[in-house]
Amino acid sequence: MTSNPPDAQVRAVIPEPSARLRNARKILDAAWDAGAVSAAELMAATGLTRVTVLNQARELADAGWLREAQDSRALGQYSTGRPALRYELETDTRAVAGIDAGQHRISAVLADPHGTVLARAQADIHPEAPAAQRVQVVAQLLRELGGSQASRTLDALVVGVPAPVDSHGFSPSDANGFWGRMNPDWQGQLGEFTGLIQVENDANLAARAELGRGAEGSFAALLVGERLGAGTVVDGQLLRGAHGMAGEMRFLTHVQGVGSAAGLGPVARQLANDALAAGRSSSLAGLEQRGTQQIFAAAHAHDELACEILEALGLRLARIAAVIAGFAGLETIIVSGAMAATLAPVIQIAQRELEREPAPVRLSASSLGAEAVVHGALCSALDLMRATAPNLPTRKAP
């Protein structure tokens, strides 16, 4: 992949305040989702004159944002006279990327301006790996994505991290340095790939993914795995809060019956191991691994201990959902992340408990699974690309 020249990168972040650029944006926005459009159609959509439309469309084509579309006769349609010149969005030379820089695994996706996925790459990483190693892994994944797409310009990149992120892309300091390792100044570290980089909390990106799939109103995307995090949307607006701390779950240490921000996965393992160490009889005793899949399978086979663990997880999820929904007035909590597809029994137990409350919050499982964060990162990268396009060359004085 190629990167934008430095001056174009700056203008992508700080748009040129000119009528020329505003007109170009109107035309590009009108053409983005419309397919092939004629000058007349662009005039109707933008209210601009024919001369302005033709001049700006030509400049957008020269800058690599639009291209001349096939005329109707080339498409096999009958027409008389000279076919109208039509333009369409350039999708062959531009791209965006989304990255889920998780604690245990890093996933990356490259897509064209319409969101069509071009390439995927992922790598496992040790959860205690230093920041420098995480940077190396992400950089290598980006190079893998660009290997077969060398002719494309990477116009925007969004990185999702398991840490609170402020509006400038930085995370606050924490006692054990975890947030700093997860967010090691990605904007500065990945500048060789593109000049337009956004860093975002992973749960916020999961919420962005659900917005893109039609979620409305007030809801939270609750990432449930090794840790908990919530991306909270109120009246259609994503909440960030001071230092990006909205949705951080450390307050759960003060919630009776919850006691920590640990995800359902480690809680399930701990409950199983503690019970077996205390002498409980269970089919889980003979297993080398006692992860959630094994526990859920044992519960399905009516193992008494496994069923008790599912009940405990459901009660825990109900308490967490009630607290999150209560202070923000949420209608729905969407359980998200890799575990979501297997949590139906736990969600049923939690919903049973929540129904005892007035105006209970509704629980559902996201169908995005492990792709929730990287999908949200890709959606946000497309948002960023579209909000800052186009980059037009500076006109030389005559």
Query: Which residues lie across from 229 on neighbouring strands?
Result: 223
Alpha carbon distances (Å) from 261 to 227, 230, 378: 6, 11, 27
- pLDDT at site 8: 37
Residue pLDDT, tens place only, 301-318? 999 999 999 999 999 999
- pLDDT at site 1: 66
Provide the greatest CA pair distance for the chain: 88
- Look up the pTM and report it: 0.88
Alpha carbon distances (Å) from 56 to 44, 250, 384: 15, 51, 22
Six-digit token string for 44: 């109707």
- pLDDT at site 225: 81
16 has a pLDDT exceeding 50: no
d(CA 159, CA 222): 18
- In percent, the amount of the chain with pLDDT more than 90 equals 78
Q: Which of 67-76, 168-177, 192-201 has the highest mean pLDDT?
A: 192-201
* Amino acid occupying residue 170: F
Query: Which residues lie across from 107 on neighbouring strands?
Result: 100, 122
Six-digit token string for 140: 């290598």
User: In this structure, are residues 377 and 159 in contact, taking their beta carbons and an 8 Å threshold?
Assistant: yes
Alpha carbon distances (Å) from 69 to 115, 164, 234, 289: 20, 44, 41, 57
pLDDT band of 35, cuts 50, 70, 90? confident
- pLDDT at site 159: 98
d(CA 312, CA 306): 10
Q: Which residues are CB-contacts of 150 (< 8 A; sequence separation ≥ 6)?
A: 1, 2
* Amino acid occupying residue 13: V
Q: Is 199 left (phi over 0), alpha (psi -120 to 50) or beta?
A: beta
Q: pLDDT averaged over the chain?
A: 90
206 has a pLDDT exceeding 80: yes
Residue pLDDT, tens place only, 207-253? 999 999 999 999 999 999 888 999 999 999 999 999 999 988 989 99
121 has a pLDDT exceeding 70: yes
